[in-house]
């Protein structure tokens, strides 16, 4: 499926997004969220329509024909000209350019699904193949679970065969969108999706999506794909403070503890924002060497001097060795990392490895699914981690809560309001007392006060990630000088943050996870 031009059914536009640029291969796509009100119960239903800003004739573009001609050695432009002739479209430079962009998105990206994967404000995408075609849903941060429409109305292609005029209808059911996505996932992530490996877990770092595939023979009778959309930019601690997720005093305390390598464990239910808080605290530690241990690319520290990203590898075929988080944590111990970030700890072996890292003097920050401290103890014991209470006593536990509520605004739109907050910080006093014994009360009180004042000033500025990193580098060099200056964006620009290369954890985290097609098609092969 290469383009999307669906018919919109609407009783009101609710949200509007535009996706364009390099990631969408130069094409412009609108994603419109419309509502239809149920006449009986007066409840709104929302649908997202993916609409490519292209002429309808591109629906009939013979992509397989173009691919075959290129495979025979023809240049891309020549193949496109011949393809346009087959569908009675003039071979103007504008039409050739449009067809080239659509073909490249189909060949190198995800076709008409590309804009959906880039859509803002969504956390999950669910795609299923049913008898009557594709069914897609997205989990929207404000509107909840909504239907997504990708496709087009039946398009009539009029062609001539000799003296006869032939009319052919091109419909979305002529294509196998789920099969197409399976092929694209296999090629881009170099992971076969076969009957031997029907349930691979994949990560596309370029689009920042985590993909769970279920294919035949497991996905019967309906193969499906579940996609988690990972954050494309780090959520800053200033944003979380402004949204009442965490207070300035709590953030300053966690920053201080993490800086002194005190182990921190965030616990909370799914979707509470544990990883977001973890990343926001780690973002403040720009002067530390940090190892990122992940099963998916969801920790993002683009402005640190030294970041050591490591990604878990599954053993999906014979001869492919499993590299799990335990091995990665042990490897991080030999890497000279000050702090080891694990995006999520699940099993007893992972917690034992973290406990060893803690005893060897490394800082650790990780997350665990549990509702509170007591629930974490219970779950770890159930998992067979007999030293659960010892681990939790050693770490500072941050309980993160989540409450959801449907709220109807004045226009009748029902929005899902998420209330996330750091409910409690446990064991912090004991670790603060230890720091006071080691460094002196004056030093610790002063460092804590510095951080409270810094966050207060940063909150006034509302900085970008790069601006906050610039302030942090200056803060670590001379905190009193930074705090003495009246906060302003002009003052930040004058600080001359050292030039840093963006770390490669997003695009080059694991070469095995990258597909062979990076960028536009090259005619010379």
CA distance 412 to 76: 50
Structure-token pair, residue 247: 């207070």
The pLDDT of residue 525 is 37
Question: Measured between alpha carbons, how far is 106 from 89 in angstroms, rounded to an integer?
Answer: 20
pLDDT (0 to 100) of residue 50: 94
CA dihedral 332, 338, 341, 346 (to 10 degrees): 60
pLDDT band at 315 (very low <50, low <70, confident <90, very high): low
Residue 416, beta-bridge partner list: 406
CA separation for the pair 483, 524 (Å, rounded): 57
Residue 500 pLDDT > 50: no
Tell me which long-range contacts 247-253 makes (C-beta under 8 A, separation of at least 24). Answer: 247/422, 248/452, 248/455, 248/456, 248/459, 249/452, 250/422, 250/425, 251/280, 251/281, 251/451, 251/455, 252/448, 252/451, 252/452, 252/454, 252/455, 253/425, 253/428, 253/448
Number of other CB atoms surrounding residue 44 within 10 Å: 18
At residue 502, the pLDDT reads: 40
- The CA distances from residue 211 to 204, 341, 507, in Å, are 8, 22, 16
Q: What global pTM score does this model have?
A: 0.78
Angle at 48 between CA 136 and CA 404, to 5 degrees: 85
Tokens of residue 460, six digits = 């006034």
Task: Please state, for a pLDDT cut of 70, what percent of the chain lies above it.
Answer: 89
The single residue listed with the structure tokens 């994603």 is 31
Is residue 518 scored above 70 in pLDDT?
A: no
In this structure, are strands 13-19 and 29-37 parallel, antiparallel, or unpaired?
antiparallel
Within 13 Å of residue 101, how many CA atoms lie on the same side as its CB? 22
8 Å CB contact between 397 and 267: yes
Q: Determine the Cα–Cα distance for residues 399 and 401; give it in Å rounded to an integer.
A: 7
Q: What average pLDDT score do residues 249-277 get?
A: 93
pLDDT digits (tens, 9 = 90+) for 76-135: 999 999 989 888 888 899 999 999 999 999 999 999 999 999 998 898 999 988 777 788
Supply the pLDDT for residue 318: 64
> Looking at the domain 13-229, which fold is it?
Beta-Lactamase (3.30.450)
Residue matched to tokens 């942090």 = 472
Q: For the chain, give the mean pLDDT.
A: 84
CA dist., res. 328 & res. 313, Å (int): 10
Task: Give the helix ranges, DSSP H, for 190-225.
Answer: none
Token duo for residue 405: 């509520």
Q: Is the pLDDT of residue 412 over 90?
A: no
269-278, 392-401, 405-414, range with the lowest pLDDT:
405-414
Q: Quote the crossing angle between the two packed helices 348-359 and 325-333, to the nearest 10°.
A: 10
Cα dist. 227→40, 208, 354, 403, 472 in Å? 34, 10, 29, 23, 34
Secondary structure E strands in 151-218: 155-161, 164-170, 201-204, 209-214
Helices (H), 87-200: 93-108, 114-117, 177-189
pLDDT of residue 463: 87
| Lowest mean pLDDT across 88-102, 203-217, 406-420, 505-519 | 505-519
Quickly name the fold that domain 237-493 has. Answer: Rossmann fold (3.40.50)
pLDDT band of 503, cuts 50, 70, 90: very low
* Separation of alpha carbons 485 and 453, rounded Å: 12
Three-state secondary structure call for residue 453: helix
Q: Give me the pLDDT at residue 114, please.
A: 94
Q: Which residue has the tokens 């002196």?
A: 440
Percentage of the chain modeled with pLDDT above 90: 38
Per-residue pLDDT, 515: 41
Q: Do residues 248 and 459 make contact, with C-beta atoms less than 8 angstroms apart?
A: yes
CA distances from 39 to 4, 35, 42, 43, 44 (A): 29, 12, 5, 8, 9
What are the pLDDT digits (tens) for 324-379?
A: 889 999 999 888 899 999 988 887 788 888 888 988 889 999 999 888 888 888 88
Whether residue 508 has pLDDT greater than 60: no
> Residue 138 half-sphere exposure, CB side, CA atoms within 13 Å?
25
Question: How many whole angstroms separate alpha carbon 192 and alpha carbon 194?
Answer: 6
- Whether the pLDDT of residue 184 is over 70: the answer is yes
Segments making up each domain of the chain, as ranges: 13-229, 237-493
Distance CA 239, CA 493 (A): 21
Backbone angles phi, psi at 127, to 5 degrees: -125, 130
**Main-chain dihedrals φ then ψ at residue 497, nearest 5 degrees:** -60, 140
Count other C-beta atoms under 10 Å from residue 491's C-beta.
15
Outline where DSSP puts E strands in 106-154.
122-130, 133-140, 144-149
Q: Where are the alpha helices (DSSP H) in 419-478?
A: 428-439, 441-461, 465-477
């Amino acid at each position: 499926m290469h383009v999307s031009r669906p018919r919109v059914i609407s009783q009101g536009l609710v949200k509007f997004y535009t996706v364009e640029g390099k990631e969408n291969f130069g094409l412009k796509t609108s994603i419109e969220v419309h509502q239809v009100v149920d006449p009986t119960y007066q409840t709104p239903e929302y649908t997202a329509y993916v609409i490519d800003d292209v002429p309808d004739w591109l629906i009939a573009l013979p992509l397989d024909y173009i691919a075959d001609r290129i495979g025979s050695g023809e240049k891309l432009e020549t193949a496109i000209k011949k393809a346009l002739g087959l569908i009675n479209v003039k071979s103007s430079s504008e039409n050739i350019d449009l067809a080239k962009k659509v073909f490249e998105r189909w060949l190198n990206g995800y076709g008409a699904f590309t804009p959906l994967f880039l859509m803002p404000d969504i956390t999950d995408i669910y795609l299923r193949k049913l008898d009557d075609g594709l069914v897609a849903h997205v989990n929207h941060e404000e509107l909840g679970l909504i239907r997504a429409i990708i496709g087009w109305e039946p398009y009539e292609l009029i062609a001539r065969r000799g003296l006869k005029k032939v009319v052919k209808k091109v419909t979305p059911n002529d294509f196998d969108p789920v099969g197409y996505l399976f092929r694209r996932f296999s090629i881009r992530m170099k992971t076969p999706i076969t009957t031997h490996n029907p349930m691979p877990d994949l990560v596309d770092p370029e689009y920042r999506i985590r993909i769970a595939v279920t294919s035949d023979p497991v996905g019967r009778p309906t193969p499906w794909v579940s996609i988690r959309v990972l954050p494309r930019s780090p959520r800053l601690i200033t944003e979380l403070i402004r949204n009442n997720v965490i207070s300035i005093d709590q953030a300053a305390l966690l920053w201080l503890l993490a800086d002194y390598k005190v182990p921190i464990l965030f616990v909370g239910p799914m979707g509470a924002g544990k990883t977001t808080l973890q990343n926001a605290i780690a973002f403040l530690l720009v002067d530390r060497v940090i190892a990122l241990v992940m099963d998916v690319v969801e920790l993002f520290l683009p402005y640190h001097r030294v970041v050591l990203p490591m990604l878990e590898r599954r053993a999906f075929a014979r001869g492919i060795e499993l590299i799990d988080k335990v091995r990665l944590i042990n490897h991080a111990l030999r890497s000279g990392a000050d702090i080891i970030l694990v995006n999520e700890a699940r099993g007893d072996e992972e917690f034992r490895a973290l406990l060893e890292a803690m005893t060897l003097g490394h800082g650790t920050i990780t997350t665990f699914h549990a509702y509170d401290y007591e629930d974490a103890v219970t779950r770890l014991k159930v998992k067979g981690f007999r030293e659960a209470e010892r681990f939790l006593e050693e770490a500072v536990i941050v309980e993160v809560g989540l409450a959801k509520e449907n709220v109807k605004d004045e226009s009748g739109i029902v929005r899902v309001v998420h209330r996330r907050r750091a409910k409690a910080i446990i064991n912090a006093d004991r670790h603060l007392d230890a720091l006071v014994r080691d460094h002196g009360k004056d030093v610790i009180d002063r460092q804590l006060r510095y951080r409270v004042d810094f966050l207060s000033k940063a909150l006034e500025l509302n900085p970008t990630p790069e601006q906050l990193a610039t302030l942090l580098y200056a803060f670590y060099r001379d905190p009193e000088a930074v705090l003495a200056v009246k906060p302003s964006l002009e003052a930040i620009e004058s600080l001359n943050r050292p030039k840093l290369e963006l770390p490669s954890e997003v695009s080059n985290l694991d070469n095995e996870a990258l597909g062979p097609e990076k960028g536009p098609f090259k005619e010379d092969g």
